[in-house]
Chains A and B, each alone.
Chain A
Amino acid sequence: GAVVSQHPSWVICKSGTSVKIECRSLDFQATTMFWYRQFPKQSLMLMATSNEGSKATYEQGVEKDKFLINHASLTLSTLTVTSAHPEDSSFYICSASSLVEPEGTQYFGPGTRLLVL
């Protein structure tokens, strides 16, 4: 149980284009989803927290107009990188938690590697 998927796993795009990454909880309802960014050989950096049906809460320094997050249902959240530039190239990981586990356990997706040329 508690499986989270991400799509795509790899994406290469041209500078200036937008890229959408999907995060799905496959076997549970995700009350909250989190989006992280991870640089090589570093820890995870929280970008934003999203609750179903609400606007996402962004961490300081994360441009909300550049990283658009939508959490339209209890099983799906999307991250759209708008007007992507090479510095946006990174590994993006989502996680999800549910009310079923009140301790707040987060289950992570496999990640999406974005390369902007």
Chain B
Amino acid sequence: AQSVTQPDIHITVSEGASLELRCNYSYGATPYLFWYVQSPGQGLQLLLKYFSGDTLVQGIKGFEAEFKRSQSSFNLRKPSVHWSDAAEYFCAVGAGGTGNQFYFGTGTSLTVIP
């Protein structure tokens, strides 16, 4: 069965510190992987995606993620967190193709302290 696990429900980091948000997936086919960010009361904004090629992908706002097939992981990283990065982060996996649904993780809430 397809599933996405985000082990950390909530993470607190200091501004300027590095960040890593974990995502593990269980998927029977080649996964198409996505990270989204959601600010309070807002929709989801795409940060980055992976479906082929270089396993280290760069996204917007200075985020990057690395696909590790052997570990079934797609962890999100940022070298230096800004206060504006405080939000909810969702990892998603899909089968590719426009009609196929996503499977979302439960999300990780990020708090940034000054």
Contact = CB atoms under 8 A, between A and B. Distances in A.
B98 A42 contact: no
Contacts of A109: 43
Interface in B23-39: 32, 34, 36
B101 A51 contact: no
B41 A104 contact: no
16 contacts: A31-B98, A34-B101, A43-B105, A44-B104, A46-B102, A49-B101, A91-B41, A98-B98, A102-B96, A102-B98, A103-B49, A103-B94, A104-B102, A106-B102, A111-B41, A113-B41
Interface in B98-114: 98-102, 104-107, 109
B36 A99 contact: no
A20 to B, nearest CB: 18
Contacts of A102: 96-98
Interface of A: 4, 6, 31-32, 34, 41-44, 46, 49, 51, 91, 93, 95, 97-99, 101-111, 113
Interface of B: 32, 34, 36, 41-46, 49, 51, 90, 94-102, 104-107, 109
A104 B98 contact: yes
Contacts of A99: 98
Nearest to A98: B98
A44 B90 CA distance: 9
Contacts of A95: 44
Contacts of B109: 41
B99 A51 contact: yes
B43 A108 contact: yes
Contacts of B42: 110-111
A40 B98 CA distance: 28
A32 B98 contact: yes
A43 B107 contact: yes
